[in-house]
Chain A
Amino acid sequence: MAETVLTNPGHSTARLEGWRGIAADWASDQRAFKNVSWGKAMMWIFLLSDTFIFSCFLLSYMTARMSTTVPWPNPSEVFALNIAGNHIPLILIAIMTFVLISSSGTMAMAVNFGYRRDRVRTAALMLATAAFGATFVGMQAFEWTKLIMEGVRPWGNPWGAPQFGASFFMITGFHGTHVTIGVIFLIAIARKVLRGDFDVERRGFFTSRKGYYEIVEIMGLYWHFVDLVWVFIFAFFYLW
């Protein structure tokens, strides 16, 4: 064992699978996550904690909605739009969902091209992802503006239970913040990819560590998580 490579260690030749593998990995020396770098493991653990944050938001929304005696505003009507004279229910949210799913697709392919060391395509796909993300945030800003103009406040709204506004602004606000941070993160990493930082192993400005293409995958984990959270928000807040 000359030197441990922490960035991209592969399978050991004799590594157990299944339940025995779990027991062996967790009982082993030094590291439980054998073929995962610390960066990726930490991103997963961060995402797990973020899962609990969003779970608590959705739970408090559920509690408010279940315990109120006032009728809950119908999201299908609240988020309807008039397009070319047609009244289409929930259409804005549907478009936002498709935009975010598209961004997840481009991100997944960016990760793929990153591991093939295709600099230009990786950066282009990441910038496309960022553009989709920015579009999403823009549509969310439009949605917020529309609802605020119609009189929705965190303490009340014209249609029913006053907790609707508080839940809406809290949940979509936190999600929108995550998307915004993701867009900034994407642009920063795309710049590094395009400049070839990960080909020449240039050291980072803040960390003085060498970067690897794996950061594209770690970035991707964050971005897919943002999409994942939207899946749950879409189901529980908008469709329920």
Chain B
Amino acid sequence: MTNAAVHMEGQLHAPAHGAVATGAVHASGQQHPIKLYLVVWGWLFVLSTCSYLVDYFGLHGYLRWSLILLFMMLKAGLIVAVFMHMAWERLALAYAILLPPIAVLVFVSIMVLESEYTHFLRVLFFATPS
């Protein structure tokens, strides 16, 4: 395989959008239509506005928390998948990067238990007796 062949293959990258790649530009690496970025950009604005409105309208309780998490995950997903091009990377890289943060969720659950225990002890021993 020669260098030229490797570079030819580079142009064929991005299976989802390979069809719309213009022939005029000698593209290599991640090459996607500008329109895709503009659409994602617009969605990020919409989702940010939504999460701000959650606070503006003063929603409370589980509705507030679930909406915050929903908009957060959607925004994070769009940024990682499209802006950071993870959607077009090979799975070997995607899983190597995206799976380890799940360990953080284990850490979160440990610390939730721990802080509830600390809170319980503080209420038991330090709260002003009624």
Asked if A pairs with B, the answer is yes
A5 pairs with B95, CB closer than 8 A: no
Which residues of A in the span 11-41 have a Cβ within 8 Å of any Cβ on B? 11-13, 15, 17-19, 21-22, 25-26, 32-36, 41
In B69-99, the 8 Å CB interface with A consists of: 69, 71-72, 75-76, 79-80, 82-85, 89-93, 95-97
Would you call B114 and A63 a contact (CB within 8 A)? yes
| A221 interface contact, C-beta 8 A | yes
Known: A10-B13, A22-B92, A67-B115. A227 touches B79 (CB 8 A): yes
* Residues on the B chain within 8 Å of A64, using CB: 115
Known: A51-B101, A66-B116, A115-B28. A33 touches B12 (CB 8 A): no
Contact B76 A67 (CB under 8 A): no
The reply to whether A48 and B83 form a contact with Cβ atoms under 8 Å apart is no
* A120 interface contact, C-beta 8 A: no
Contact between B2 and A21 (Cβ–Cβ < 8 Å)?
no
CB–CB B68/A235 < 8 A: yes
Give the number of residue pairs across the A-B interface with Cβ within 8 Å: 193
Known contacts A18-B91, A235-B51: does B37 contact A108 (CB below 8 Å)?
A: yes
The A85-106 residues at the B interface (CB cut-off 8 A) are 89-90, 94, 97-98, 101-102, 104-105
Name the interface residues of B16-71: CB closer than 8 Å to any CB of A: 25-32, 34, 37-38, 40-41, 44-45, 48, 51-52, 54-56, 58, 64-65, 68-69, 71
Q: Which of B10, B12, B41, B101 touches A55 (beta carbons < 8 Å)?
A: B101
Q: Shortest beta-carbon distance, B45 to chain A, in Å?
A: 6
A75 to chain B, nearest CB (A): 8
Given A11-B13, A66-B112, A112-B31, A104 contacting B96 (CB threshold 8 A): no
Among candidates A9, A101, A115, residue contacting B45 with C-beta atoms closer than 8 Å:
A101
**Chain B residues within an 8 Å CB radius of A18:** 91
User: Could you say which interface size class chain B belongs to?
Assistant: 35 or more
- Check if A213 is an interface residue, CB within 8 A of chain B: yes
Distance (whole angstroms) from the CB of B36 to the closest CB of chain A: 9
Number of chain A interface residues as a range: 35 or more
Main secondary structure, interface of A, reads helix
Scan A96-138; emit 1 where CB is below 8 A from any B CB, else 0: 0110011011011101100111000000000000000000000
Within the assembled complex, what's the spacing in Å between the Cα atoms of A41 and B30? Answer: 14
Known: A25-B90, A98-B48, A239-B55. A232 touches B76 (CB 8 A): yes
Asked if A101 and B41 sit within 8 Å, CB to CB, the answer is yes
Q: Other than the known A9-B10, A69-B126, what 13 A-B pairs have Cβ atoms closer than 8 Å?
A: A2-B2, A12-B9, A32-B92, A35-B13, A48-B97, A51-B104, A68-B122, A90-B52, A108-B40, A108-B41, A108-B83, A112-B32, A224-B79
A-B contact pairs, 15 of them (CB 8 A): A2-B3, A8-B10, A10-B10, A22-B92, A32-B92, A44-B93, A48-B97, A63-B111, A63-B118, A67-B114, A104-B41, A107-B83, A109-B37, A115-B29, A239-B55
User: Sorted from nearest, which 3 A-B pairs have the closest CB atoms?
Assistant: A10-B9, A25-B92, A10-B10
